[in-house]
A and B are shown apart, each in its own frame.
Chain A
Amino acid sequence: MPQQDGDLDEAAPGGLRVTMGAIAGLCAAVATAHMTLVFLHVAPSNPVSQRLQQPIHAWVNPLFEQNWLLFAPNPNAVNTQIFARAGWMTETGEGQTSDWIDISSVDTADTKHNPYPSRTTIAMLRRAWVSYMTSHGEDEVSRGEWALMLAEYLRNIAVQRISEHVGHPFQTVRIKVVTYPIAPPDTGGTAQTVRPEPYTRTLPWWNATSDGS
């Protein structure tokens, strides 16, 4: 059984009651302020949240981050296949490249018939690519520190995943992403049987770290 706290308020002498009221007021105020700031952070930008931008940001990030965008506003209606290839110098000074290696198929394979895949399978490459995509235009130029970091992250994953396939040191790495739009549901009509075409995005050659690790 929970221990009963009794009716503290009624039993307490006058001075204590004031202190208790102050404590209750403080707790309620903190709770209200917290939820107000969180609400304003999640709500669409409005005059109040614009004026309070600084305090909202300072309070909510990073401890009270709110990320409730799963499949919203729309689910990503695409499947992606991600390839990488390595480049290196031979002893004679010739530039050589490996074939394109599919670095995303391992995730699809590991997800299949697995009730609880690791987050390395579910999140790592997929989120790295989505984050890269949202921070880079089709010219693949990293603008700003954040974009640079995301490019570096994607590169590190690619380097790790192709290392065992390549089997020897390499100096450069290149990534290619093929995106397959998911066809809308077949409504049984005659009209739209056109399957959306996949499109390919090829990123520039990047330097891998010298030992290819």
Chain B
Amino acid sequence: MAVDQTSPAYPAPEKADVAPEGITPAGRLRNRFDDVYRLLTRQPLSLYATAVMRIGFGLLYTIMLVREFPYRHQIWGPESPWSPDLARRMFDEYGLFSVLNLSDDPRYFEACYAFALITAVVFMLGWRTRVVSLVFALVMFSFYSRGVFMTDGGDNLAVLMSVYLCFTACGRVWSLDARRHRRHDDGSRPEKPGGIRILRRFTVTVMHNCALVVMMAQMCVLYGAAGLYKVQGNLWNDGTALHYVLKTDSFRPWPALSDFVDGHQVLIGISCYLTVLVQVAFPFSLFSKLKYVLLPILVGMHVGIAVLMALPLFSAVMILSDAVFLPDRFYRAVARKGSALIAAVSPRRAATRPH
């Protein structure tokens, strides 16, 4: 998988004892189990990927709340056509819950909105990340279920990922928490782990790694399901599905562009088949380098959706969730290139902060 296994941690122990000749199948299984156990428990993997997701989801949610600010009453407020009464009846039926339904007072709603906005920003910055991630997930879920008819697959995925992120150590790097730790941690506190502290750190690590696997598996379920559902559709089979999508008024922000694309039937056919194939193939590509071919295609697809169909937020959520598959060395390289670029633009800053 794409988790980063190359961290220059410490001399890899017991790498030497892999499979001496003539080992029994049971022994091999045991070794394999030990390898997996060590991978899951030794250190949190893909810290940069989860940090990118934290920053990304915080940012996207902030953008969304700002974008919908003028329409907030229509979507989640007490005057929404999906009235508080309707929402409550639905909650009773489906066991849903929303903080927004605790009161119908308009002032309470405005307070919730402000609180959601602040939570998203704070989450993005990574301040007291563990606690804030729980609050963020609660906020996401509350707004989602209050206006469930105003949501799409992107919102669904964002809620899921925000719940999974609660279990990760997504504030460990590129966060205010990390900065605070750097300041307090300059050698003044020697590592002297007591039993409780060992257990705590161990639990954090295992939870993080398990959540990481769950996020990857979730993306596989998503793409696998989306692909296999499409396989059953005759319009995807005959390669014309995208023609109908491009002709749908609600998804035509640039009619001239849509018609131009629609004019290329071979292109449409290829795109239809490619969409289905890539989605179905995605779960199977994870253990090979093939995923680095499929991921850019998926990203390209989502960019196409964003522009052609005016669904930028949906696409951004999808792309951001794909980010879980990229290894940490990718993010570190991007960060290096980025800071080199900044250094080139402003030499003075580079002199003071060589990061």
CB contact list, B187-244 vs A, under 8 A: 191, 193, 195, 198-199, 201-203, 205-207, 210-211, 213-214, 217-218, 221-222, 225-226, 229-236, 240-244
Question: Which residues from B are CB-within-8-Å of A184?
Answer: 240, 243
**B82 CB–A CB distance under 8 Å:** yes
* Cα of A137 to Cα of B268 in the assembled complex, Å: 34
Nearest CB in chain B: distance from A24 CB, A: 5
Kindly state whether residue A47 has any CB partner on chain B within 8 Å: no
Cα distance A35–B217 in the bound complex, in angstroms: 7
Q: How many A-B residue pairs have CB under 8 A?
A: 230
Contact A24 B206 (CB under 8 A): yes
A148 to chain B, nearest CB (A): 9
Whether A34 pairs with B214 at a CB distance below 8 angstroms is yes
Q: Say whether B320 faces chain A, with CB atoms less than 8 Å apart.
A: no
A13 and B232 CA atoms in complex are apart in Å by: 56
Which chain A residues in 127-156 approach chain B with CB under 8 Å?
A: 127-128, 131, 145-146, 149, 152-153, 156
Summarize B's interface: helix, strand, loop or mixed: helix
> Complex formed: what's the CA distance from A108 to B222 in Å?
30
In-complex Cβ contact of B229 among A3, A73, A127 (8 A):
A73
Is B313 an interface residue when CB atoms closer than 8 A count as contact?
Answer: yes
Q: Are the C-beta atoms of B94 and A127 separated by less than 8 Å?
A: no
- Shortest CB–CB separation between residue A11 and chain B, in angstroms? 8
Task: Using CB atoms, name the residue of chain A closest to B230.
Answer: A72
Is B96 part of the contact surface with A, judged by Cβ < 8 Å?
Answer: yes
A122 contacts which of B70, B231, B241, B310 (Cβ < 8 Å)? B310
Q: Which residues of A contact B251 (CB under 8 A)?
A: 111
Give the docked Cα–Cα distance between A157 and B211 (Å).
40
A185 to B218, CA, bound (A): 35
Q: B10 in the interface, Cβ–Cβ < 8 Å?
A: yes
B255 touches A20 (CB 8 A): no
Which residues of A have CB within 8 Å of B319?
A: none
Q: Which of A63, A115, A119 has the most CB of B within 10 A?
A: A119
- Asked whether, in the complex, the Cβ of A23 is within 8 Å of the Cβ of B203, the reply is yes
| A119-B75 in contact given A8-B201, A10-B13, A24-B206 (Cβ < 8 Å) | yes
Residue A93 at the B interface, CB < 8 A? no
B243 A72 Cβ-Cβ under 8 A: no
Q: A35-B214, A70-B153 are in contact. List 9 more A-B contacts (CB 8 A).
A: A2-B47, A20-B202, A27-B207, A42-B221, A72-B229, A75-B248, A79-B249, A126-B250, A160-B81
B residues near A (Cβ < 8 Å) are 7, 9-10, 13, 37-38, 40-44, 47, 67-68, 70-71, 74-75, 81-83, 86, 89-90, 93-97, 141, 145, 149-153, 156, 159-160, 163, 172-173, 181, 185, 191, 193, 195, 198-199, 201-203, 205-207, 210-211, 213-214, 217-218, 221-222, 225-226, 229-236, 240-245, 247-255, 262, 265, 268, 307, 310-313
What are 14 pairs between A and B in contact, CB < 8 Å?
A5-B42, A7-B10, A7-B42, A8-B201, A16-B195, A23-B202, A66-B156, A74-B241, A75-B244, A118-B71, A120-B71, A123-B151, A152-B86, A182-B247
Chain A positions near chain B (C-beta within 8 angstroms): 1-12, 16, 19-20, 23-24, 27-28, 30-31, 34-35, 38-39, 42, 61-77, 79, 107-108, 111-120, 122-124, 126-128, 131, 145-146, 149, 152-153, 156-157, 160, 182, 184-185, 187
Closest 7 CB pairs of A and B: A73-B233, A72-B229, A156-B81, A74-B233, A31-B210, A77-B244, A73-B232
